[in-house]
Copies of this chain bind each other. A is one copy, B any other.
């Protein structure tokens, strides 16, 4: 089962968004175009545009209007990825070299800025003042989340509360806003806008927790980067908190540092996998997914609603 099958009726519209994305990052400045295209062509699930379109379907759907919000959300996501890779000093992303590996940190920074600005450009087509407020509030939180993540690196005495707040800012809010702005672009009722926001938020939380689980349970081939990379970077995710309840494993985890040899890291990953950390993390993820599905209850039946439900369920089961 592939994710794209869950919204196959949107195929033509997703292609429209994809075409618009290429146009969005087109620039006469060769270097900028190359760097942006490099990232765009690496692909990605385009899950934010999908949420925008599906949410818009709950109102008056006009692809020529709503695609602008879809492009904006994907560009902001891509901009944040580019800036993330600078922070993480990442060489690979989605199985390809990163912009900062291919060019350098400076180019990566401005390419991110450029994508970010182009996103705002696209949002102006949705002539709705609250849309800008929603989006800029989310971006502010996104930045705070990024800084918090830097501050929290290798800080092993933090709490799961720090973790949940971090993934809310880093991931869940932008998915929440994707759903909300889709509903706004489709002129759906305020009630539906709110429900879809919460749906996106819960799905986003579940999505990120799953991502953090997969960083331990997937192979390098599946991830497009080495397993355990988050931990190696000092990014303490949900399974780590649970595994650290075991004092022995905790003391070993606390020794993790960026230059740790791959074999030592592998040993620690094996330790974590032997605990109930993955199972408990999955249970939390499932709880968020149930909350997400609850939000859909009061929304009228439709193909789009079914897709939103199926995607949530899919995220609960995804293996990579």
Contact = CB atoms under 8 A, between A and B. Distances in A.
Tell me what chain A mostly uses at the interface: helix, strand, loop, or mixed: helix
Nearest to A135: B120
B147 A120 contact: no
Nearest to A144: B29
Among A113, A121, A129, A151, chain B packs the most CB atoms within 10 A around the CB of A113
Given A31-B147, A124-B133, A144-B29, A87 B109 contact: yes
Contacts of A4: none
Interface centre among A31, A116, A137, A143 (most CB of B within 10 A): A143
A114 B116 CA distance: 12
Given A117-B139, A124-B132, A27 B86 contact: no
Contacts of A31: 147, 150-151
A109 B133 CA distance: 23
Contacts of A142: 117
Contact of A136 (B29, B107, B120, B127): B120
Contacts of A139: 113, 117, 120
A83 B120 CA distance: 19
Contacts of A27: 144
Contact of A113 (B29, B143, B148): B143
A86 B136 CA distance: 24
A29 B107 CA distance: 27
Contacts of A217: none
A268 to B, nearest CB: 25
Contacts of A86: 105-106, 109
A215 interface: no
A118 interface: yes
A133 B121 contact: yes
Interface of A: 27, 29-32, 83, 86-87, 105-107, 109-111, 113-114, 116-118, 120-121, 123-124, 127, 129, 132-133, 135-137, 139-140, 142-144, 146-148, 150-151
Given A27-B144, A110-B143, 8 more contacts: A83-B109, A86-B106, A87-B110, A110-B147, A111-B147, A116-B116, A120-B120, A121-B133
4 shortest A-B CB distances, which residue pairs? A120-B136, A114-B143, A117-B139, A124-B133
